[in-house]
């Protein structure tokens, strides 16, 4: 029993009460009564159980108090009162039995009203049982080293082995009601108890009531402080003891995730190993905390409450935990709840417990140890009305282990490990996993002892033999097949355990040894034919690249190990190897890898080279791949401009005589006679044409001509007066040696020839004098002299 004083508190994740799983069903109620019970004795006010022994506190017996020891007959399951414990010097209103705790053959009883060092100083009595006679005797009375009036030492007690903790929640070391807890240790040789250390909250304050509840398990203690924070939020403090020095230190302050005023966190506390449960009766909840064994940090795991209860119904007034079982009391509803934790998910589900006689104050105290829980009802009817009672419940579900054996060969649960074909002198391993799918520990014997494996089978890495698997735990072992020759082999081995219906489990193994296997290298490339071990790159322009892919495949039935490619027969420029995923690699059968071969000529000419692919292929230890390629000159554009007036390529476009008012068009053709694209810019931009010349139908400007391609534009002459005209325009491009070609234009504008003595047939001199006469005539008509013309 891990010293769980019944009222307790903690923090958690919310969960509803669900039907209890098949792992637990607390039933078979047995009601315990004091042999001399009287009305208002408050029998059941405090309670604790350890194995087949329980202690029940009745702090008002004879206005002084008493505690009663009950024992269970392991054969019949019947409980009987073994002894009534009393204080040797008890007086009125001591409240002997205010708190109780038991661990094996040692019990401790809190007496919060003892007046040894002033009124309500408090004390605690330790009793021990003689294993031979079953008699209990007082071993020692414990007092606080600094006890004073109204400290209420003994308000709470807990014991674990040779260590006890006593709460005094009203001490005034810091201020009124700060509270303290005292740790006592027993000398195993003398049986004498000494105060080891006083525990204080690191942030103790007025009316914290630190020590209201205490719990201990080994080197870990919990202390509840229901008044900590604003308006009785409450808190629980975790302390750990250094095994070497015996010093206790606060490790963590536990608060619930949704703490608020009047929650009274720490109303009850209990601990077992790395799991704690904390009651917050003001909120009507209990919280489960779990500790990380590596870091020692506590975290809230789950919140528990009565889904049918009323807010602030004091659910959590008492709590207790043992392994995967927990009990929570709900005094005002005269109920309690038994919880069981799923070993896989960690979630807790609950079963509601109600006394058959609807006992008054049922749930005021609770305690659990293993499969048995005891619940106090201090106002229940006993020999007399309201004398109090205690109710014992036993988990009637028998916990049994259940072995499950699986392996790494599908189907995994057929108890058959088939290795298939394995090369002689090689090894193959398979894993066998043993899992406990039951709800009790599974004890494994020594594997393959009654039915051992023989060569070529063997067992390695056995983590199962002679092990104990808790529910949901597993272990594993390796089965090895190492055939020394060809042929079929089979065997079996046993897995003994305490599974009641599967003991032992027999696992069959089989495998076939086959002859040696060898690798087989195949080299192909992306240039047809793919398997001729020759890569012809053809013509590649200098300063450009061409890539081909080489693929290496293992067409054998053993791993192929590839060496450093091109290490013996090294490629030189303009050839190179890139993206080599093959060198020093191991290819399993049917696997492949690739590398890239690049041809990058820097000059024109024909090039040849080769490289080697080494491997452990027995008959092709080195494969040679031949390379060839031709570098060609860098292509350039070459502009050629012609026109529709012979000679076409003189860059001269003569229009001849064109009558004024008429239009004459000529076609200019631009051709790319080079081997690279020709890029044309805007024509006549730098050297534009002026009237009467113009460019029409320009299909060339800003165009790119591929080799041998051409485009055209129209040059138009449209004189509006007579005269001689000359002009030119530019054709810009990226031709490296003709960046701009100039085209010259010439033309003469003449008058209309109307066959009636007009000027159409005049020569230039005649035309000039004729024009001069016209000007004089026009001037005379206007009364002017234009002698300057």
Whether 531 and 416 share a structural domain: no
Whether 547 and 667 share a structural domain: no
Residue 540, pLDDT above cutoff 80: yes
Task: Provide the pLDDT for residue 397.
Answer: 77
SS (H, E, C) 110-131: EECCCCECECCCEEEEEEEECC
Domain boundary among 459, 494, 514: 514
Whether 196 and 60 share a structural domain: yes
Mean pLDDT of 6-16: 33
Whole-model pTM?
Answer: 0.57
Task: Provide the pLDDT for residue 765.
Answer: 46
Whether 387 and 459 share a structural domain: no
Task: Provide the pLDDT for residue 231.
Answer: 87
Residue 11, pLDDT above cutoff 50: no
Domain boundary among 632, 654, 674: 632
Distance in angstroms (rounded) separating the CA atoms of residues 754 and 659:
11
Measured over the CA atoms of residue 203, residue 204, residue 207 and residue 209, the dihedral's sign is: positive
Number of domain units in the chain: 5
Task: Provide the pLDDT for residue 173.
Answer: 59
Residue 1 lies in a domain: no
Residue 9 lies in a domain: no
Residue 30 is part of a domain; what is its CATH number? 2.130.10.130
Whether 450 and 557 share a structural domain: no
Residue 351, pLDDT above cutoff 70: yes
For the stretch 240-294, pLDDT in tens is: 999 999 999 999 999 999 988 999 999 999 999 999 999 999 999 999 999 999 9
Buried b (16+ CB within 10 A) or exposed e, 610-634: bbbbbbbbeeeeebebebbbebeee
Task: Provide the pLDDT for residue 785.
Answer: 34
Residue 13, pLDDT above cutoff 70: no
Residue 6 lies in a domain: no
Whether 230 and 136 share a structural domain: yes
Question: What are 505's strand-pairing partners?
Answer: 495
For the stretch 381-435, pLDDT in tens is: 988 999 999 999 998 877 789 999 999 999 999 999 999 999 888 999 999 999 9
Task: Provide the pLDDT for residue 713.
Answer: 97
Whether 110 and 223 share a structural domain: yes
Residue 363 lies in a domain: yes
Q: What is the DSSP letter of 645?
A: S
Residue 3 lies in a domain: no
Whether 643 and 628 share a structural domain: no
For the stretch 163-212, pLDDT in tens is: 999 999 987 655 567 899 999 999 999 999 999 999 999 998 998 999 99
Distance in angstroms (rounded) separating the CA atoms of residues 231 and 219:
32
Whether 354 and 476 share a structural domain: no
Residue 700, pLDDT above cutoff 90: yes
3-class secondary-structure state, position 625? strand
Residue 535 is part of a domain; what is its CATH number? 2.60.40.10
Task: Provide the pLDDT for residue 310.
Answer: 59
Residue 96 lies in a domain: yes
What is the pLDDT confidence band of residue 344, given thresholds at 50, 70 and 90?
Answer: confident
Distance in angstroms (rounded) separating the CA atoms of residues 354 and 362:
8
Residue 5 lies in a domain: no
For the stretch 737-748, pLDDT in tens is: 999 999 999 999
CA 234 to chain centre: 34
Task: Provide the pLDDT for residue 764.
Answer: 47
Element (H, E) at 524: strand 521-525
Q: Which has the closest alpha carbon to 284: 265, 300, 305?
A: 305
List the domain range (segments joined by +) for residue 676. 639-750
Domain boundary among 395, 413, 435: 395
Identify each DSSP E strand in 306-436 by its residue range.
315-322, 325-330, 335-341, 348-353, 362-369, 372-377, 389-395, 403-407, 416-423, 428-436
Q: With beta carbons less than 8 A apart as the criterion, state whether 321 and 302 touch.
A: no
Task: Provide the pLDDT for residue 517.
Answer: 78
Residue 8 lies in a domain: no
Whether 50 and 177 share a structural domain: yes
Mean pLDDT of 545-555: 96
Task: Provide the pLDDT for residue 10.
Answer: 32
For the stretch 428-462, pLDDT in tens is: 999 999 999 988 899 999 999 999 999 999 999 99
Task: Provide the pLDDT for residue 7.
Answer: 32
Whether 218 and 89 share a structural domain: yes
Task: Provide the pLDDT for residue 440.
Answer: 86
Q: Rounded to 5 degrees, what are φ and ψ at 769? A: -65, -35
For the stretch 745-760, pLDDT in tens is: 999 999 976 554 444 4
Whether 695 and 765 share a structural domain: no
Residue 464, pLDDT above cutoff 80: yes
Task: Provide the pLDDT for residue 229.
Answer: 86
Task: Provide the pLDDT for residue 516.
Answer: 77
Task: Provide the pLDDT for residue 25.
Answer: 84
For the stretch 125-171, pLDDT in tens is: 999 999 999 999 999 999 999 989 989 999 999 999 999 999 999 87
């Amino acid at each position: 029993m891990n010293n769980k004083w019944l009222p307790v508190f903690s923090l958690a994740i919310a969960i509803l009460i669900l039907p209890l799983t098949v792992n637990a069903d607390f039933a078979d109620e047995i009601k315990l009564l004091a042999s001399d019970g009287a009305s208002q004795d408050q029998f059941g006010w405090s309670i604790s159980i350890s194995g087949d022994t329980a202690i029940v506190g009745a702090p008002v017996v004879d206005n002084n108090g008493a505690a009663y020891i009950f024992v269970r007959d392991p054969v019949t399951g019947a409980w009987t009162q073994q002894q009534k414990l009393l204080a040797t010097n008890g007086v009125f209103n001591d409240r002997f039995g205010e708190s109780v705790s038991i661990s094996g053959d040692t019990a401790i009883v809190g007496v919060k009203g003892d007046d040894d060092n002033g009124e309500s100083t408090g004390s605690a009595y330790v009793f021990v049982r003689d294993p031979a006679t079953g008699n209990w005797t007082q071993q020692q009375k414990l007092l606080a080293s600094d006890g004073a009036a109204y400290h209420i030492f003994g308000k709470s007690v807990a014991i674990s082995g040779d260590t006890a903790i006593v709460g005094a929640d009203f001490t005034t070391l810091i201020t009124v009601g700060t509270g303290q807890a005292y740790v006592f240790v027993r000398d195993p040789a003398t049986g004498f108890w000494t105060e080891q250390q006083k525990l204080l909250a690191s942030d103790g304050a007025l009316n914290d009531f630190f020590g209201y509840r205490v719990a201990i398990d080994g080197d870990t203690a919990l202390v509840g402080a229901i008044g900590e924070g604003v308006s009785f939020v409450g808190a629980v403090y975790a302390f750990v003891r250094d095994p070497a020095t015996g010093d206790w230190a606060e490790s963590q302050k536990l608060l619930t995730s949704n703490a608020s005023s009047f929650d009274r966190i720490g109303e009850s506390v209990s601990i077992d190993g790395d799991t704690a449960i904390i009651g917050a009766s003001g909120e009507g909840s209990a919280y489960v905390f779990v500790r990380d064994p590596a870091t020692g940090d506590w975290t809230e795991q789950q919140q528990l409450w009565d889904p049918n209860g009323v807010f602030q119904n004091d659910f959590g007034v008492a709590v207790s935990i043992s392994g995967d079982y927990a009990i929570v009391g709900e005094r005002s509803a005269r109920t309690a709840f038994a919880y069981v934790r799923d070993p896989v998910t960690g979630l807790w589900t609950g079963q509601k417990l109600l006394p058959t006689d609807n006992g008054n104050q049922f749930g005021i105290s609770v305690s659990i140890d293993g499969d048995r829980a005891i619940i106090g009802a201090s106002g229940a009817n006993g020999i007399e009305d309201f004398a109090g009672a205690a109710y014992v419940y036993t988990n009637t579900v028998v916990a049994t282990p259940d072995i499950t054996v699986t392996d790494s060969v599908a189907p995994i649960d057929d108890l058959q490990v088939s290795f298939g074909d394995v090369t002689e002198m090689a090894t193959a391993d398979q894993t066998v996993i043993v899992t406990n799918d039951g709800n009790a520990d599974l004890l494994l014997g020594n594997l393959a002892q009654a039915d051992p494996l023989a060569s070529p089978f063997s067992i390695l890495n056995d983590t199962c033999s002679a092990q104990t698997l808790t529910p949901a735990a597993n272990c594993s072992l390796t089965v090895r097949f190492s055939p020394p020759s060809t042929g079929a082999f089979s065997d079996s081995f046993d897995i003994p355990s305490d599974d009641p219906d599967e003991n032992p489990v027999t696992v069959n193994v089989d495998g076939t040894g086959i002859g040696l296997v060898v690798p087989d290298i195949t080299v192909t490339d992306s240039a047809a034919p793919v398997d001729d071990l020759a890569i012809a790159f053809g013509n590649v322009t200098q300063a450009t690249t061409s890539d081909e892919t080489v693929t290496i495949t293992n067409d054998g039935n053993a791993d192929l190990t590839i060496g450093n490619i091109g290490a013996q027969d090294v490629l030189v420029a303009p050839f190179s190897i890139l993206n080599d995923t093959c060198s020093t690699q191991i290819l399993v059968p049917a696997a492949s890898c690739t590398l890239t071969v690049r041809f990058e000529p820097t000059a024109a000419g024909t090039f040849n080279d080769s490289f080697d692919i080494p491997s452990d292929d027995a008959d092709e230890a080195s494969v040679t791949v031949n390379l060839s390629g031709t570098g060609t000159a860098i292509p350039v554009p070459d502009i050629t401009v012609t026109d529709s007036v012979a000679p076409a390529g003189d860059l001269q476009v003569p229009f001849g005589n064109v009558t004024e008012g008429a239009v004459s068009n000529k076609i200019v053709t631009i051709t790319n006679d080079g081997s690279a694209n020709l890029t044309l810019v805007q024509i006549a931009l730098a050297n534009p044409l002026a009237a009467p010349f113009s460019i029409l139908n320009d299909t060339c400007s800003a165009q790119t001509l591929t080799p041998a391609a051409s485009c055209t534009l129209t040059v138009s002459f449209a004189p509006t007066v007579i005269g001689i005209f000359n002009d030119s325009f530019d054709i810009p491009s990226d031709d490296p040696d003709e960046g701009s070609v100039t085209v010259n234009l010439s033309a003469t504008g003449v008058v209309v020839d109307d066959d009636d003595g007009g000027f159409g047939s005049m020569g230039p001199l005649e035309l000039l004098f004729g024009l001069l006469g016209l000007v004089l005539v026009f001037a005379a008509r206007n009364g002017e002299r234009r002698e300057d013309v």
